């Protein structure tokens, strides 16, 4: 088996965590238990990314379209998010991980907003892995928001660099590697601007079954790709 070349790690890995529901269904369990198991994978992947030395990890946790799900499932996801913050924040902070929220959390319950903001504040000066959680995130919303902010500031300098400063990912490199679990071949409104030249890796594994080794495998596969960026 080949090994990871640490001199050419992807700077930014973005993951569409998919398949929690199907993982549960396969076991005749309620969907929420799939999400619960998915949180364990989140912990493992954050830890692994941090120790591998990846600069940015973005996890797609809740899309602007996920409000279409039953209220009971949405509530269950919120409660798992709260538990995750309560249980894992200390460890995250200890590991020098810096948390950032991508998305508009103003529609989330007050308690969660508070916890999220204080988690970002607590970890704000950390210098290790930048861990982005995409929550009520939609790339189209992000792009419109950027236009709106530029208009408010009266900016007419429409360059790619300037525009990028108004996205949630400001200051961060674009993803080099996009992973989607559970075999779906779609983007689902994720980071549309930022993934212009991203390498895509799809695995059939459901998110709750994804682990550190699978992440390493994806990175090894990424390192075999020839990135041309339009040149020869
Ligand atoms: C991904 O798993 C988690 C979220 C979108 C919150 P899904 O809930 O989409 O699982 P499937 O796609 O139904 O299997
Ligand atoms: C994408 O998964 C959103 C997240 C992982 C949060 P979905 O399961 O919501 O995407 P679709 O509906 O299959 O496109
Ligand atoms: Mg899904």
d(CA 131, CA 224): 25
Mutate which of 15, 18, 69 for ligand 2 pocket (most atoms within 8 A of beta carbon):
18
Residue 107 DSSP label: G
Taken in order 12, 121, 42, 59, is the CA torsion positive or negative? Answer: negative
Residue 183 falls inside a structural domain: yes
The CB density around residue 2, as the number of other CB atoms within 10 Å, is 9
Residue 91 falls inside a structural domain: yes
Residue 137 falls inside a structural domain: yes
Provide mean pLDDT across the span 135-146: 98
Q: CATH code at 120?
A: 3.40.1180.10
pLDDT single digits (tens) 89-120: 999 999 999 999 999 999 999 999 999 999 99
Residue 3 falls inside a structural domain: no
What is the value of pTM for the model shown?
Answer: 0.98
Rg over alpha carbons for the chain, rounded to the nearest Å, is: 18
The contacts found for 148-152 with CB under 8 angstroms, 24 or more apart, are none
* Domain interval for residue 14: 9-224
Residue 1 falls inside a structural domain: no
Domain count, the chain: 1
pLDDT single digits (tens) 50-82: 999 999 999 999 999 999 999 999 999 999 999
73 within 8 A of 36, measured Cβ to Cβ: no
pLDDT single digits (tens) 201-229: 999 999 999 999 999 999 999 999 999 99
Pairing mode, if any, of strands 199-202 and 177-180? parallel
Residue 85 falls inside a structural domain: yes
Residue 71 falls inside a structural domain: yes
Mutate which of 16, 20, 22, 67 for ligand 1 pocket (most atoms within 8 A of beta carbon):
20
Helices (H), the chain: 20-26, 31-52, 71-94, 110-123, 139-152, 160-164, 212-224
């Amino acid at each position: 088996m080949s090994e990871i070349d640490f001199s050419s790690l992807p700077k930014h890995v973005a993951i569409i965590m998919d398949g929690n529901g199907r993982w549960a269904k396969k076991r005749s369990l309620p969907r929420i238990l799939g999400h619960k198991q998915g949180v364990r994978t989140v912990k493992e992947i954050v830890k692994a990314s941090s120790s591998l030395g990846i600069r940015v990890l973005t996890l797609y946790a809740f899309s602007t379209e996920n409000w279409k799900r039953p209220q009971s499932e949405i509530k269950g996801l919120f409660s798992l998010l709260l538990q995750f913050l309560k249980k894992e924040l200390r460890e995250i902070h200890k590991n020098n991980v810096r948390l950032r929220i991508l998305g508009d959390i103003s529609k989330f319950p007050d308690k969660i907003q508070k916890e999220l903001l204080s988690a970002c504040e607590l970890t704000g000066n950390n210098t290790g892995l930048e861990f982005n959680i995409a929550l009520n995130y939609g790339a189209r919303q992000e792009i419109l928001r950027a236009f709106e902010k530029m208009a408010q500031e009266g900016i007419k300098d429409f360059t790619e660099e300037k525009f990028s400063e108004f996205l949630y990912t400001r200051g961060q490199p674009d993803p080099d590697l996009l992973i989607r679990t559970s075999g779906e071949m779609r983007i689902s409104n994720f980071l549309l601007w930022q993934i212009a030249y991203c390498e895509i890796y799809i695995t059939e594994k459901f998110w709750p079954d994804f682990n550190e080794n699978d992440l390493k495998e994806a990175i090894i596969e990424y390192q075999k790709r020839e990135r041309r960026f339009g040149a020869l």
